Amino acid sequence: MELQRQLWLLLLVMLTSTAAWAAPQIEIDEGPVDLTDFRIAYHVDDSEVLTYEQVRHLPFAEIDNKASLGTDAKVTWFKLVLTNATGVEQRLFVHLPHAYHVQSVEFYEERGGTLLRRERLDLNDSPVSDLMYRGTAVYPFTLSADQPTVFYLRSHSYSHQWFGIEVLDEYASRHTLVSVNFDIALMVGMLLALVFYNGLLYFATSRKENIFYSLYLISGLLWIALSYGLIANVFDVYGSHVFRLNISLITMPIFLLLFMMAIFETGKIYPAEHRWLQALIVLLVGNLGWGIYDIAAALKPASSLAALMMVVTFSVSISLYRKGNPLAKYFLIGHSFFVAFNIIAVLFYKGIIPVSYLSFHGVGIGIVLEALTLAFIISYRIRILENIRSSQEELKKQASTDPLTKLHNRRFFFSEADYLLDIAKSNQTPMSLLALDIDHFKTVNDTHGHACGDQVIIALARLLREHSREKDLIARFGGEEFVLLLPGVELVDAQRCAERVRTAAETLEVRSDTDKTVRITVSIGVAEISIGHEPIEAALGRADRALYVAKHSGRNRVSTDRPTLDTLQAV
């Protein structure tokens, strides 16, 4: 029985040894060596404690040299078999371009069943091993001319096991190490530009959605720079303290939800959608707290939370669109890009689909496209607010403007005149008033019609603008009566101004509907405001009295009212 048991054990070892050698053999031929697309073998170590001696007798399964195994393959062994068809030894390099995101990597070089060399790269060590260069693990070796060289690589990831293995000669290795991922740098640069632009918008508008959008952008660019190796490449930093920056993957959706609540004003207008967004934020904040304590553990449900977030945000967006929100359709477009590319990325990270440019860069592309759409939404909302503000200003202008002459009306005159009077009091500067009335205006209407009378009033309003300064306040008080407020003008200069207006009005000609020439004259009352002693209403009353005198003195003349001591005391 003992002999039989030993024979079965020997057979099992032989079978497992044969299985262990089932890894595809990669033949190195003459010419440049730049192997970036080939098949290797892998074995997931669920126990996370297997040794090299144990693993080399276990079965391996085939896989592409660039792939993802998801979160259930935290410790994985990879097997690479190289044979030399050139007949001479070659100096080659094994590259692990994504080594920056793992805890540790171990290299075992074997030939003829003998372990030639072992290297361990712990990314938490300081200083990091010479095998690490700007995020890429580089293992140099000599490929024998007569025997295959077998590599066992143990990859211990923090959460998701996604990897890449390349075999290069010296020239290709150097070229790869000094190259820069321009696509990733472009993504980060675009997001940085949007952060700067949005910061300027915040200082201009002080709206909280700009803050949330900026924080969303910062989280997104931080995650892109971290996950795609830009931080490792530029700053040459790795390890658990850098891996903690993956918390940006949790903060990013939180800030996006806060942005939605602010830009759509869900708290005020859409209470049902607001509660859904709040509930999702609570889950994400809980995951964020977990991430602060243990980021690797918090990232495991991140894909599921991301899927839940996509469903909720998409549903809320559709609901807002159906309720007529003008921004919802644009958010749906941008969020559709985000959702589509993130679904591809999630499937890749879970090991469901193979690696490709889109699957590997899915999250980054989705973030950038959505960020650009959100920037458009902010700009579009600013345009909407500006249109509303312009409409309000137009309504204010209409409320303060005489529709016929486009001069200010009585209501605006008194509010603005009080303001100008306060300035005159503060600066101790003079101010005068002109009260003007068209002579025999009723006769113009009765003889030539009200349409002609309107043309006379419009022509006189144009004349008043031509003979006044930009800072003068001109208003139509109704009918044929006009008032001019002249800041900084004393009584003598006000009389001269009134005389110029009166003389110009004598030369005014208006054509009636019957092609007759209509001429007019005006009477003007002048009063200088006693600054600090009387309000606008009192001074205007004195100007009206002077106008009354001009009317009853023959019209087409200027009359002046000077305040008496009794008048000022009464005021």
- What is the CATH number for 557? 3.30.70.270
Per the structure, the complete domain to which residue 40 belongs is given by 19-178
Tokens of 101: 């995101």
pLDDT over 90 (residue 53): yes
Q: Is residue 10 part of a domain?
A: no
Last residue of a domain, one of 394, 422, 448: 394
% of residues, the chain, pLDDT over 90: 34
Taking the C-alpha atoms of residue 335 and residue 16, their distance in angstroms, rounded to an integer, is 50
Taking the C-alpha atoms of residue 65 and residue 45, their distance in angstroms, rounded to an integer, is 18
Residues 282 and 342 in one domain: yes
| Contact yes or no for 24/40 (Cβ under 8 A) | yes
% of residues, the chain, pLDDT over 70: 92
Residues 169 and 220 in one domain: no
Q: Is residue 402 part of a domain?
A: no
C-beta atoms surrounding 311 within 10 Å: 12
The DSSP element (H or E) to which 477 belongs, if any, is: strand 473-478
Beta-bridge mates of residue 478: 481
Taking the C-alpha atoms of residue 101 and residue 127, their distance in angstroms, rounded to an integer, is 17
Higher pLDDT, 252 or 567: 252
Q: What does the pLDDT look like over 508-518, one tens digit per residue?
A: 888 877 778 88
Residues 45 and 76 in one domain: yes
Taking the C-alpha atoms of residue 306 and residue 264, their distance in angstroms, rounded to an integer, is 21
Q: Which of 567, 432, 440, 437 is nearest to 501 (CA)?
A: 437
pLDDT at 386: 74
Q: Which of 42, 233, 236, 226 is nearest to 123 (CA)?
A: 236
pLDDT over 60 (residue 11): no
Q: Is residue 444 part of a domain?
A: yes
Q: What does the pLDDT look like over 539-557, one tens digit per residue?
A: 999 999 999 999 999 899 9
Residues 387 and 461 in one domain: no
Q: Is residue 102 part of a domain?
A: yes
Taking the C-alpha atoms of residue 64 and residue 80, their distance in angstroms, rounded to an integer, is 11
Q: Which of 318, 300, 191, 200 is nearest to 255 (CA)?
A: 191
Mean pLDDT of 10-24: 47
Residues 415 and 382 in one domain: no
- What is the CATH number for 367? 1.20.1070.10
pLDDT at 13: 38
pLDDT over 60 (residue 467): yes
Residues 102 and 218 in one domain: no
pLDDT at 283: 92
Residues 344 and 427 in one domain: no
Residues 375 and 430 in one domain: no
Tokens of 470: 């930009």
Q: Which of 494, 480, 476, 508 is nearest to 403 (CA)?
A: 476
Q: Is residue 170 part of a domain?
A: yes
Residues 373 and 225 in one domain: yes
Q: Is residue 548 part of a domain?
A: yes
Higher pLDDT, 274 or 129: 274
pLDDT over 50 (residue 14): no
Higher pLDDT, 198 or 322: 322
Three-state DSSP class for residue 244: helix
Q: What does the pLDDT look like over 134-188, one tens digit per residue?
A: 889 999 999 998 889 999 999 999 878 888 999 999 999 998 887 767 888 888 8
Q: What does the pLDDT look like over 469-497, one tens digit per residue?
A: 888 989 988 888 999 999 999 999 999 99
Mean pLDDT of 296-302: 80
* pLDDT confidence bin for 1, thresholds 50/70/90: very low
Q: Which of 456, 463, 539 is nearest to 501 (CA)?
A: 463
Taking the C-alpha atoms of residue 211 and residue 228, their distance in angstroms, rounded to an integer, is 26
Q: Output the CA torsion sign for 167, 168, 173, 179.
A: negative
pLDDT at 12: 37
* pLDDT confidence bin for 6, thresholds 50/70/90: very low
Q: Show Cβ contacts of residue 93 under 8 Å, excluding neighbours closer than 6 positions.
A: 138, 139, 140, 141, 167, 168, 169, 170, 173
pLDDT at 56: 92
Q: Is residue 237 part of a domain?
A: yes
C-beta atoms surrounding 472 within 10 Å: 18
Q: What does the pLDDT look like over 319-342, one tens digit per residue?
A: 999 998 888 888 888 888 888 887
Last residue of a domain, one of 159, 178, 197: 178
Q: Which of 34, 151, 22, 146 is nearest to 81 (CA)?
A: 151
pLDDT at 22: 60
pLDDT over 90 (residue 94): yes
pLDDT over 70 (residue 369): yes
pLDDT at 388: 67
Taking the C-alpha atoms of residue 372 and residue 69, their distance in angstroms, rounded to an integer, is 32
Q: Is residue 4 part of a domain?
A: no
Higher pLDDT, 238 or 262: 262
Residues 315 and 386 in one domain: yes
pLDDT over 70 (residue 107): yes
DSSP secondary structure code for residue 470 in this structure: T
Q: Output the CA torsion sign for 155, 160, 161, 165.
A: negative
Residues 416 and 499 in one domain: yes
Three-state DSSP class for residue 27: strand
Give me the amino acid identity at 365: I
| Contact yes or no for 63/38 (Cβ under 8 A) | no
Of 93-102, 278-287, 562-571, the poorest mean pLDDT is in 562-571
Residues 93 and 204 in one domain: no
| Contact yes or no for 56/78 (Cβ under 8 A) | no
How many structural domains does the chain have? 3
Q: What does the pLDDT look like over 431-448, one tens digit per residue?
A: 999 999 999 888 888 888
- What is the CATH number for 45? 2.60.40.2380
Tokens of 543: 């100007």
Taking the C-alpha atoms of residue 242 and residue 548, their distance in angstroms, rounded to an integer, is 87
Taking the C-alpha atoms of residue 306 and residue 227, their distance in angstroms, rounded to an integer, is 17
Last residue of a domain, one of 178, 213, 229: 178
Backbone Cα Rg of the chain = 42
